[in-house]
Chains A and B, each alone.
Chain A
Amino acid sequence: MIHAVLIFNTSGIPRLTKFYTPLHQSSQTLIQKIFSLISIRPAGLCNFLDAPELEAFLGPKDGSDERWRVVYRNYATLYFVFVVDGAESELGILDLIQVFVEGLDRHFENVCELDLVFHFDEAHHILAEIIQGGLVLETNGDEISNSGL
Chain B
Amino acid sequence: MAANMRGLTQFIADIRGARVRELEEKRINKEMANIRKKFKAWCSCHAADGNLDGYQKKKYVAKIIFTYILGYKVDVGHMEAVNLISSSKYSEKQIGYLAVTLLMHENSDFLRLVVNSIRKDLDENNEVSNCLALHAIANVGSSEMAEALSEDVHRLLISPTSQTFVKKKAALTLLRLYRKHPTVIPAAEWALRLVSIMDDQDLGVVICVTSLIMALAQDHLDAYAVCYTKAVDRLHRLVIEGEYSATYAYYKVPSPWLQVKLLRLLQYYSPSEDATLRSVLHEVLQTIMNNSAEPSRNVQHNNAQHAVLFEAISLAIHLDASSPLVGTSAVLLARFISSKETNVRYLGLDTMAHLAARADSLEPLKKHQGTIILSLRDKDISVRRRALDLLYSMCDTDNSELIVGELLRYLKVADYALREEMVLKIAILTEKYANSYKWYVDTILQLISAAGDHVGDEVWYRVVQIVTNTEDLQEYAAKVVFEHLKSPSTHESLVKVGGYILGEYGHLIANDAGYSPLEQFQVLHSKSQFCVASTRSLLLSTYIKWVNVFPEIKPQLINIFERYRHVLDAELQQRACEFYSLASRPDDDEVLQNVCEEMPPFPPRVSALIGRLNRKLGDTEDKRTWIHGGKEMNLERHANSRKATLGPGSSATGTTTVTGNTDAQDVMSSLAGLNLSSPGEQSDPSRVDSSVVAPRVAVGPSVEKWFNKLIYSTDGVLYEDVQIQIGVKSRYQGHLGQLAIYLGNKISVPLTSFTSTIHVNDSEALSATFAKIPPNLLVPRTQSQQLLHVECKKAFSSFPILTVSFLAGAHQSVSIRLPISVTKFIEGVKLGQADFFERWKVIGGPPREAQAVFPITLDGTGQLDLVRYRQVVSGNHLEILGDVDPNPNNLVAAGVLHTSVDGKVGCLLRLEPNREAKLCRLTVRSTSEDVAAEVLRLIEKLLRLDSS
Contact = CB atoms under 8 A, between A and B. Distances in A.
Interface of A: 1, 13-18, 20, 22, 26-28, 31, 41, 44-50, 52-53, 62-66, 85-87, 89-92, 94-96, 98-99, 117-122, 124-125, 128, 132-143, 147-148
Given A20-B139, A89-B264, A143-B247, 20 more contacts: A15-B69, A26-B73, A27-B71, A41-B380, A45-B342, A46-B343, A65-B389, A65-B627, A85-B622, A86-B624, A87-B621, A91-B310, A92-B256, A95-B257, A98-B303, A119-B3, A120-B66, A132-B135, A137-B204, A139-B248
B107 interface: yes
A27 to B, nearest CB: 6
A138 B139 contact: no
21 contacts: A14-B69, A14-B70, A22-B105, A28-B72, A45-B382, A50-B381, A64-B614, A85-B621, A87-B621, A87-B622, A90-B346, A91-B303, A91-B304, A94-B343, A121-B94, A133-B176, A136-B257, A137-B168, A137-B204, A140-B203, A142-B247
Q: 3 smallest A-B Cβ distances: which pairs?
A: A133-B138, A91-B307, A87-B622
B704 to A, nearest CB: 47
Contacts of B139: 20, 132-133
A121 B2 contact: yes
Contacts of B95: 121
A50 B622 CA distance: 18
B172 A140 contact: no
Contacts of A133: 138-139, 141, 172-173, 175-176
A146 B125 CA distance: 20
B307 A138 contact: no
A6 B705 CA distance: 66
B379 interface: yes
Contacts of B169: 132, 137
A148 B166 CA distance: 13
A49 B383 CA distance: 9
Contacts of B495: none
Most buried by B among A44, A47, A124, A128: A128
Contact of B250 (A45, A62, A139): A139
B16 interface: yes
B211 interface: yes
Nearest to A47: B343
A47 B343 CA distance: 6
B71 A137 contact: no
Contacts of A18: 102
B130 to A, nearest CB: 12
A1 B204 CA distance: 17
A63 B616 contact: yes
B421 to A, nearest CB: 9
A17 B858 CA distance: 85
Nearest to A27: B71
Given A89-B311, A133-B175, A52 B417 contact: yes
B688 interface: no
Contacts of A96: 257
B347 interface: yes
Interface residues of B, number: 79
A105 B297 CA distance: 23
B8 to A, nearest CB: 9
Given A99-B250, A121-B2, A64 B211 contact: no
A89 B211 contact: no
Nearest to B106: A22
B417 A46 contact: no
B260 A49 contact: no
B794 to A, nearest CB: 41
A10 B71 CA distance: 16
Contacts of A45: 342, 379-380, 382
B410 interface: no
A136 B304 CA distance: 15
Nearest to A89: B260
A137 B616 contact: no
A142 B203 CA distance: 13
Contacts of A139: 204, 207, 248, 250, 255, 257
B331 interface: no
Given A28-B71, A92-B257, A133-B176, A138 B379 contact: no
A87 to B, nearest CB: 3
A103 B424 CA distance: 45
Contacts of A49: 381-382
Contacts of A99: 250
B207 A62 contact: no
A52 B382 CA distance: 12
Contacts of B175: 133, 135
B186 to A, nearest CB: 21
B6 interface: no
Contacts of A134: 176
Nearest to A42: B379
Given A44-B342, A98-B300, A92 B260 contact: yes
A143 B347 contact: no
Contacts of A148: 128
Nearest to A87: B622
A143 to B, nearest CB: 6
A86 B213 CA distance: 18
A101 B365 CA distance: 39
Most buried by B among A46, A52, A85, A122: A46
Contact of B98 (A28, A98, A124): A124
B1 interface: yes
